[in-house]
Structure 1
Amino acid sequence: MQFLAIGAGRKRRRGATHANSSGAFYAFISPWLVGTVLLTFFPLGYALWISFTNWDGIAPTQSWVGLENYADALADPEMWASLRRTGLLALVVVPLTIAGGLVLALLLNEKVRWRTGFRTLVYLPAIVPPVAATLTWKLLFDRDSGAINGVLNVFGADAVSWLTGNTVSVVLIVVMLWGIGAGVLINLAALQDVPAELHEAARLDGANAFTAFRHVTLPSISPVLLFQVITSTIGVLQTFVPALLLSPANGAAAITSVPEANRIFMIDVYAQYFAYSRYGYASALLWLFFMAILVLTVITFKVGGRTVFYAVDPSREGSES
């Protein structure tokens, strides 16, 4: 009986310890939970409700219109045009970001003099606030006083109106590639995590540098590359601030004066909200865009997951534990 009492006491202590650890866990993550509910789930739910109304953002009442906003959005040629511009922007920026970040990481992974300084210089643009970076590039590409046209004039070329017409999309791409250092840092960490034994084995088998990169390095960092493809795609599709700040006008007029080449999807949504007061329609646009990004992410996971190499199979690891 004494042994049974001791065993029962130990079980009670283990249960109390487990309860205390669970309570501490939820206490630590409570700020994140509260922030997620208030800043993510509630806005999403409220926007979903608004998307079924014709609210203008001012009237105290909201009239239910059902799926009318969604039908109008799918039939709106301007919505499809802005979506097409956004897709083309992603097709240009995402591959350049992934490939450029990988190439720079490979160069910075070599044992060269002042390597730490080069790494710092490459990463510094990534910590510059997007607003400051965009306004700086806007000044550099100014037609009359910008340094870019100044360089062109030195070589006898005519000044280019970078911030008007289709050329403004080039400026937007440059601004978005400015922060490539964040991807370089991630790739650099992945490269340094590749086992040196694999490279040594490849060299013993007679593999050259390109073959070793293709069959050893690339498969080893493929999970990181897939992660960057997904996050970069989502980030580019949601681009808003740079496109808005590159507008020739300032203040409230900026949203309606964005050049057509930069009138991407989020610019159109913002205009529907704050320029045309179509809150229900704009909310429907956001939900359609959210579903499109969700479907695209799932497809990327399914397709990209087949080519990704994992040193440990996540499904088997979970079942064994």
Structure 2
Amino acid sequence: MTVRHITAAAGRTGEASPSGPPAPPANRANRSSSTRRGHRAFYMFVSPWLIGFVLLTVVPMVYALWLSFTTFDGISPRWHYVGLGNYRELFSDSQTWSALGRTGLFAVTSVPLSITAGLGLAVLVNRPLRARGLFRTLLYVPAVIPPVGAGIAFKQLFDQNSGAANGVLNVFGMDALGWLTDPYARYVLLMTVLWGAGNIMIISLAGLQDVPRELHEAARIDGAGAWRTFRSITVPLLSPVLLFQTVTGVIASVQTIMPLLLAPDATTAGVTAIPQSNHLYMMHVFAQYFAFGRYGYASALLWVLFVLILIATGLIFRFTSGVVFYNVDPEAKK
């Protein structure tokens, strides 16, 4: 059969030759309809999250922004629009700056400690040990305990009169300490952070198992020791995981409410019972909301914190851009 006959037959059957014209409009319409169905299915599955995000995050944030320009106290229908008055008062309030400084010190201290502890535990349970699965479970269990439960447990553990911590001190003939008062309260707060290091352990463990074994074997052949291999190979390949943990750790540390749960007389005295060393930024916000009824001023405090978190996150990405390495498949770049 000649080429002319083949072309004529293809024209009669409506089929295009390999080098012929593009697909008929009917096929493009079918693909477009399939794409629309895929888009509808996608938005249907994510709609619960989108609705929750709008109703529980976006709307409260916009409402808090509006409150920050008013003197609303949460009860009285009489309120006044003060513009930037709350923000001007905020920047001249010494208590706000003190609370912000303590929060920054807490974040700088707690985030590296928790990441180091989680990574150390991950390296430990990544080794071929007996009952390794049991150890992983036991180390991760504290991370799933709700913060309220952990706060109450630590409050009972470090109670000055009946706590187990002072019971141990009494066994060795030492005097009981006021763990939940200054200057020891800050150390108890750090212990509660390290208590939940199992969450970081699981994420670090996943990153460790993604490190190619061939690189470790090559390092051993070249004579590199365990510490040199960990520092020069494992840590650089874990840098995206460490960056994620740093960002999320900073965000969580500046929003912690654990000092309120650890306060010795929080049920009766409220926020005033919190030791000065643990009077963090969110405790200052809590006091303005519920102790003084200054909803407008407290909302301004929250919006300033939101902006500071954005700035801190941007700075972290900016200063770590040269030390974070992403393991990308060369075929994926094509």
- Is TM more than 0.5 here? yes
SS at structure 1 position matched to 2:159: coil
Question: What TM-score comes out, normalization by structure 2 length?
Answer: 0.91
Contact 1:56–1:278 (8 Å) recurs in 2: yes
1:215 match: 232
How far apart, in 1, do the equivalents of 2:125 and 2:143 lie? Answer: 16
Deviation sequence 1:193-234 (CA, Å, 0-9, x none) = 100111111112121111111111111111001100110111
Matches within 5 A, 1:84-95: 84-95=101-112
How far apart, in 1, do the equivalents of 2:265 and 2:160 lie? Answer: 15
1:256 match: 272
How far apart, in 2, do the equivalents of 1:74 and 1:247 lie? Answer: 27
Matches within 5 A, 1:1-321: 2-3=14-15, 7-240=24-257, 242-251=258-267, 253-312=269-328
How far did 1:305 drift? 2.1
Percent of pairs with identical residues:
50
Aligned residue type for 2:106? L
How far apart, in 1, do the equivalents of 2:178 and 2:139 lie? Answer: 29
Extract structure 1 runs of 4+ deviating beyond 6 A. Answer: none
Gaps of 5+ in 1: none
Aligned residue type for 2:321? G
How far apart, in 2, do the equivalents of 1:268 and 1:313 lie? Answer: 48
The number of residues matched between the two structures is 317
Q: CA RMSD in A?
A: 1.9
SS at structure 2 position matched to 1:27: helix
How far apart, in 1, do the equivalents of 2:44 and 2:144 lie? Answer: 31
Q: Which has the higher mean CA deviation after the structures are superposed, 10-19 or 59-68?
A: 59-68
Deviation sequence 1:37-65 (CA, Å, 0-9, x none) = 11111111111111011111112243111
Q: Which has the higher mean CA deviation after the structures are superposed, 249-258 or 286-295?
A: 249-258
Aligned residue type for 1:208? G
SS at structure 1 position matched to 2:273: coil
Contact 2:69–2:85 (8 Å) recurs in 1: yes
Gaps of 5+ in 2: 1-10, 16-20
Larger radius of gyration: 2
Question: What TM-score comes out, normalization by structure 1 length?
Answer: 0.94
Deviation sequence 1:169-213 (CA, Å, 0-9, x none) = 111111121110000011111101100111111112121111111
How far apart, in 2, do the equivalents of 1:224 and 1:187 lie? Answer: 7
